[in-house]
Every structure is written in C-alpha cells, then in structure tokens.
A and B are shown apart, each in its own frame.
Chain A
C-alpha cells in the first residue's frame, strides 16, 4: 500500500506543493518578524533624527556685530559714577538707546519711528543685559565706542538658521520684508554670525527663546535627584536586605512583597497625586521645591531599587554566608561585612537605572507644582525649581517658533545624561559582575 521507494513520496506533486506552501509561509513569518524589528528601529531612527534635525541649531546663537557707543549722556549713567551708586546707575541706564543709536548709524536711511522700532527689534531684548554686564565688568568702557557681538532676536535667529523661509508671503511670517532686507545687509557686511550658544548651558529659563537656557532646569534636576538618591538608596537597600536575609516566611512578608511589586507598576502620576496630597497639603512642604520632587520620585524609585537589590543579594552564593557564620560572625555581620559588599555592584547598577528613570520622569513633578516659570537658578532644596524634562514640556508648550529648537536641544542633553547613566550602569555590571 505505501510507496515502495521513500524518495517517490518526496516527488509526489501534491506533497511538493504542500511543502512549497509551508516554506512560503515560513518565509512570510520570518519576514513579518524582520518587519516588526525594522518598524521599531525605524521609529527610533525617526525619533532621533527629528530631534537632531530640529535641535542641533539650539547650540548656536545668531549674534549681530554692533558698534555701541557707551555715551554717558545717552545711557544716562553719568551722574552715578562714583562708588556704590554705580550699580544703581547701571540699573537705571538706558542701554536700549545706545543699541538704537548704533543700529541707526548702520542704517542711516531709516527715519520713521515705526521703522526704527522694527529695526531695533532685530536685536534681542537681552542685549541690554549683556551691555550692562560688560560695563559692570569694565567701567572704563564708559564714554568709549566698543564693537560687540550682541544676540539677535529669536525671529532673526530662526531666519538666519533657515528655519523661517524667505519665500513665504510676508503675512505668514513674523519678519517683514524690510527687516529681511536689513538682515541681508548685515550679513553682507559680515555683521551677522552664528556663535556657540554658551548661554543655553549657563542661564535659566526665559520668555525669550534666544536667551533661554537649561542650567536652571539642570540644577533643579540635580537637586531633585540628590534627594531621591539620599532617601531611596538607604531605604531600598535596607528593605532588600531585610526581605532577602532576615524576613520570616509569614503573611506580613508576603504582603510587603506583593506591595512592592504592585508599587513598581503604579502609574507615575499616581505618585504625583500622593505627593500633592501628603507632602504639600498634609505636611505643608513648599510647592515647586526639589525637596518635594525628590521625595515623590524617591517613593517611585524605591521598588526598582528594592527589586534590583534583592536580585543582587540573592546572587551572592550561600557558601559565602556559611563560611562567615562558621567563623563566628553574627547574621548582621555576615550581611554587612560580606554579602553587601559583594552585592554592591548589582545594587548600584539597579540604583543608577532607577535614577535614570527618575531623571526622565515628568508627570509626578507636574502634580507638585514644579511646572512654574522659574528664571532663577535654584540653589537649595526648598527653592522653587523645575527639572529638565519639565523644562522640555514647558518649552514644547510655548508657541514661539524659537523654542522648538531649544526643546530638541534640551532633549539631546537629557538623552545624553541618560545614556551616560545607563552606560555607567552597564560598565559597572560588566566590570564587577561576578560569576560564581
């Protein structure tokens, strides 16, 4: 009944058709898998490219070379030149006038009041502060004429970077044709150039995109993370040690374990609600402060550290413990002198990963008021502050065109920090991980 020759079976056309179909299905399945991975990779590449393309210009700042004459009469700083009133005179001085005069000297044909105003608006409103700082640093500049590269307005900045197209109709862009003409003239005279935007890394937030920086937000993030680390690390390690080494097998321990696993999956915004209700409304801690942000993020990070810590402690072989006990060490001595040092690389890796997550976290911080517009760089744990991701959120919400590149620039800085932290974690793991 069966084929006498097994090879004949493989030559059966129906069978071969079936086999072809099955192999085609196999190839299709494999292609779907590759497509899935490819899609994920494509999404990541799109994400990174769109951020880099939008954001690399955030590290550049367009400046205009102006020959500013710091005439005591014009800026009105003459009377207060002696001693302590110099600072007061600086505060009163009208540097805008000096900038206006220098611009008018460049474009003598601009006469009408409105035109002068629109000419003046090419220079950032922060240029005054630059002039003031220069004069404060070197009072001998008073009465002299100095050539200074002053920051351009964000619209000019966007135009010079090619973010605002020249060929759209005048009505749909913020710069008038006249202003573009002036910009071109400045460029031809070599008075318009792009510089490295150091202010982006050294100043706080600002309503003016060309002046806004991330230093304040970075300090806020740093202070917040210090609080987070100071609270979640000791607590997390203590909890992990207890659960792995000392906890009796009873219902309480089970309850603790279930709770930790659940907390790890609670949405971060719920921790924000907890922070709002407990730290702000019940304990009356200051709003918008890194202290509260750090406390909230610490509660959120705690499960991560506990889980990582338990895994690291569990990985230490029992023989170590038995040897130490055999030499007369008490249970606590075994843990403190032997288990913890051996588990420390693993615990630190988990902690760094938890900190990286806390650094990128935004939602809980929104709940406790770290979303305010804060110009000053925070210097203490109870100062009002924002954090880097919150700053990104705030800028992304701003309508000004100039903030788009700032957002992307800030994102690049944030991603860089995260990559550095994760890299450190991987390095720690590879360098100190022990295979028993």
Chain B
C-alpha cells in the first residue's frame, strides 16, 4: 500500500460524490432544470470538491511531514548507543534502517539494533499510511456528507465552485514565487552552513581553489583552499571569449537579416539560426571536446603555441556559437522595433543603408541590444554542459585563453556528482557557488529588463 492507493480511494470517493451531488440537485428540483440555481454539474463539482479537498490536505501533510516524523519516532526508540552520535552517523543509521525496511537486505545486515529499528520503522510506516488513509477517507466522507446535505435547488453551487477554482488558479500562479523562494532558501541555507566553515572573505577574495585537498585535510581545520577567485576568473574568461564570438556574429546576422537579406536568403538563414538555438548544450559540449579542442590544439602547435587540451578558447568558441542565435534573435527584435519613419528619414537624407544602420538604427535599438548582450552574458555564465565537457577541472589563476581554466558551473557539477555527504565543506561550497551564480544572473536579468524598459518607449 502506498500513496497511489490513497489517491485512488480519494478519486473514487470524489467521483461518487459528484454523481450523488448531481442526482440530489436534480431530485431537489423535481427534475426541472430551470428550477436549479446552477447547472446540475456544478452541484456534482461542489460535492466532489468538498469530498476531495480535505482528503488531499491529509495526503499533502503526510507527504511533507510523514517521513520526518517517522524518522523521529524511529530514533526515539532506537538504542542510545546508535543515536547519540554525530549527525552524519545518525543519518547513515537511518539510511540503513530504511534500506532494510524496504527489503534491500544487502546494506548493513547483521547489526541487531539496526534490524530491530528497521522492523519498527516498517511497522510504523504501515501504521502511518493506514492512519493517513483512514483519516483521509473519513474526512472525505464527512465532507461529502456535509456537501450533500447542503445541496438543494437554491444553493449557489456555481458561485462556490468558481470561487474554489479561482483560488486554485491563483495558487498555481503563485508557484513561481514559491519556486523562487525555494531556490533562494535552499541556496542560502547551505551557503550559511558553508560560511561557518570558511569565511566569506576567504571565499570571495582567496586566490587558491582546491576543494579536494581540503576534504582530506579538514580534520586539522585546513582553510585556504576555498578561495573562489580563480573560479570566477575562469568563468569570466570563457564568458568573454564567448561574447567576443557571439556579439559581432549575432549582431551582424541580425542586421543582415533585417536590412539586407532577400526572402530566399532569409528562408535559409532563419532556420539555421533556429536549429543552432535548438541544439542541446550537451551536443555542443561533445562538439567542443571532440572536434574543436583538438583543432585548436593542432593550430596552436602549428604556430608553435602550447595549447592545453581543455583550453578556455575551445570552450569559449563553442559557447559563443551557442549564444549567436540568442543575440541575433533579441537584436532582431530590437532592430525591427525601430520605427520605419526613422529609417525612411535617413534614406531621404541620402544616407546609404549601412550609414542608416550605423548612425540611426543601431543607436535607436541600442537599449534592446544592450539588454540582449546582458541576457547573453547571463546565459554564458550559467551555461554548464559545454564547460563541463570541454573546460578543465583545475582552478588556474590565469587570463591566458590557451590554458585550462575552470568555471563556477564546472565546480558545482564536479563537487556534487557522485557520492556525497552533506556536511563537508566541499559539497556545501557548491551551494555557495550556486548562490553566486543565481545572484549574478538575477542581477544581469534585472538590469537587462530595466535597460530595455527604461529606453524602449522613446521612439513610439
């Protein structure tokens, strides 16, 4: 038995109360539709909502607090020798208990304390689920009974149902805020824990990043390995290379598409840009690692330069290609938004097309283009797969595009993939980096939005 069954029972109950509510409404009106306040279906919905919502509340509460209270109950009855230990070991113990309880015998079999706890956990789990089911069913039936008692031809069922639906719609739209709060809270929570271990100044201004060694040496309180400056610098370097590729190409593409291209050229060029925009980043990463990086290395060798096999240049070039369509489509919008009268006026004064573009259109479209640029930077900073596959892991404090550098996203991925324990500074530092990333991209987006909004209406 699991949650699915509870939901099924609830759905059945709600369905039957729908039928009952509808029938009761019709009966109370003596079968005459016009005697009813609302359409009969609304009485059905009214009863179904009264029946289903209380049960759903129980399910939600069980989902949120169930596993936590089970943990506490299990711990409360477990022998003290197993419980009065550091947080990580207690979590390990709980993990063993749960694995054992779910029939996964391979883990930690043998310890009688664990086995006893697992049995208790199992019985607690079944009892809890049964209780939840009973409670949900009881509340549902009570709700249905109340609703069905109220159903009569004068009940404004439609109004009530619509009020509930409206509330549900509003809650759905608030999900966006919940998600943002969730992101901020989860990042800040772990980051604060990280800053208990490593000071903020150390993180922001330290120039040595080497989380692996810190993990080995953290018994002696080694600090000095979480200086994120090389990571930030690497991110900046790759972003810079990407923007050097993407901005000229993207902007010129947009100019060409809006001002020069014939219909036939556009019919070819537009899909090219759209396909480039639709290629998954993991594919770009593969391209960077397997095709571009060896090429760059080969060219470097040809002119006598020593290029790292995971050079910032290769990753940046491919990232630039990925961002071209982004810049070009946003710039395209900005350029098309410039009123034709400006263009015509410039032509009327005898300017050539390129002069019109350079001296009239581009200045007029500048806010939009700057906005596009900022959004593109934010995308480049947050881009993950290309750099994970094509950039390095070691944090070098260098501005040399031919050397291997690492980025914020690469570090987050390498720190958090694989087995992890949640107390080490190593995994927590990933959340600090994530918070930095979130804040920087958020600021870039807000500034971009401001720039576009503030100057947009000037020519309308």
Tell yes or no: B260 within 8 A of A by CB: yes
Contact code string B262-290 (vs A, CB < 8 Å = 1, else 0): 00010011001101101111111111011
Tell yes or no: B213 within 8 A of A by CB: no
| Contacting residues, chain A, for B446 (C-beta < 8 A) | 262
Cβ B172 vs Cβ A242 within 8 A:
yes
A352-378, CB < 8 A from B: 356, 359-363, 366-367, 369, 371
Tell yes or no: A434 within 8 A of B by CB: no
Cβ A50 vs Cβ B287 within 8 A:
yes
Nearest residue (CB) in B for A46 is B291
Nearest residue (CB) in B for A281 is B422
| Min C-beta distance of B256 to chain A, whole Å | 3
Cβ A274 vs Cβ B186 within 8 A:
yes
Cβ B324 vs Cβ A40 within 8 A:
yes
Nearest residue (CB) in B for A397 is B389
Cβ B175 vs Cβ A235 within 8 A:
yes
Looking at A40, A51, A263, which has the most chain B CB atoms within 10 Å of its CB?
Answer: A40
Contact code string A273-302 (vs B, CB < 8 Å = 1, else 0): 110111001111000000000000001001
Count of chain B residues with Cβ under 8 Å from any Cβ of A? 92
Cβ A267 vs Cβ B409 within 8 A:
yes
Given contacts A37-B253, A330-B162, A367-B416, contact A273 B286 (CB under 8 A): no
Tell yes or no: A270 within 8 A of B by CB: yes
Nearest residue (CB) in A for B442 is A262
Cβ A422 vs Cβ B177 within 8 A:
no
Contact code string B331-361 (vs A, CB < 8 Å = 1, else 0): 0000000000000000000001111011000
| Contacting residues, chain B, for A238 (C-beta < 8 A) | 168-169, 172-173
Cross-interface CB contact of B381 among A263, A267, A278, cutoff 8 Å: A267
| Contacting residues, chain A, for B278 (C-beta < 8 A) | 356, 360, 418, 422
| Contacting residues, chain A, for B287 (C-beta < 8 A) | 46-47, 50-51
Cross-interface CB contact of A306 among B176, B286, B353, cutoff 8 Å: B176
B348-403, CB < 8 A from A: 352-355, 357-358, 375, 378-379, 381-385, 388-389
Cβ A302 vs Cβ B176 within 8 A:
yes
Cβ B186 vs Cβ A277 within 8 A:
yes
Cross-interface CB contact of B413 among A277, A278, A360, A363, cutoff 8 Å: A363
| Min C-beta distance of B377 to chain A, whole Å | 11
| Contacting residues, chain A, for B431 (C-beta < 8 A) | 273, 277
Tell yes or no: B140 within 8 A of A by CB: no
Tell which of A74-82, A151-159, A252-260 binds the partner.
Answer: A252-260
Count of chain A residues with Cβ under 8 Å from any Cβ of B? 86
Cβ B352 vs Cβ A362 within 8 A:
no
Cβ B383 vs Cβ A267 within 8 A:
yes
Task: Report the separation of the CA atoms of residues A332 and B176 in the bound assembly, to the nearest whole angstrom.
Answer: 22
| Contacting residues, chain A, for B186 (C-beta < 8 A) | 273-274, 277-278, 282
Tell yes or no: B219 within 8 A of A by CB: no
Tell yes or no: A241 within 8 A of B by CB: yes
Tell yes or no: A29 within 8 A of B by CB: yes
Cβ B321 vs Cβ A35 within 8 A:
no
Tell yes or no: A246 within 8 A of B by CB: yes
| Contacting residues, chain A, for B282 (C-beta < 8 A) | 360, 362, 389-390, 392-393, 396
Cβ A242 vs Cβ B173 within 8 A:
yes
| Contacting residues, chain A, for B176 (C-beta < 8 A) | 239, 256, 259-260, 263, 302-303, 306
A-B residue pairs, 9 tightest by C-beta: A267-B382, A360-B280, A33-B256, A277-B186, A36-B252, A29-B354, A238-B172, A242-B169, A363-B384
Report which B residues bind A (CB closer than 8 A).
63-64, 67, 158, 162, 165-166, 168-170, 172-177, 179-180, 182-183, 186-187, 189-190, 248-253, 255-257, 259-261, 265, 268-269, 272-273, 275-276, 278-287, 289-291, 321, 324-325, 328, 352-355, 357-358, 375, 378-379, 381-385, 388-389, 409, 412-413, 416-417, 422, 430-431, 434, 437-438, 441-442, 445-446, 449
Report which A residues bind B (CB closer than 8 A).
22-23, 25-26, 28-30, 32-37, 39-41, 43-44, 46-47, 50-51, 54, 234-235, 238-239, 241-243, 246-247, 255-256, 259-263, 265-271, 273-274, 276-278, 281-284, 299, 302-303, 306, 330-332, 356, 359-363, 366-367, 369, 371, 389-390, 392-393, 396-397, 404, 407-408, 411, 414-415, 418, 422
Inter-chain pairs besides A302-B175, A360-B281, 14 sampled, C-beta below 8 Å: A29-B358, A33-B253, A33-B260, A37-B256, A239-B172, A242-B169, A256-B177, A261-B445, A266-B183, A273-B434, A283-B63, A283-B64, A363-B413, A393-B385
Q: List 6 A-B contacts (CB under 8 A).
A: A242-B169, A243-B173, A247-B170, A274-B187, A282-B186, A390-B282
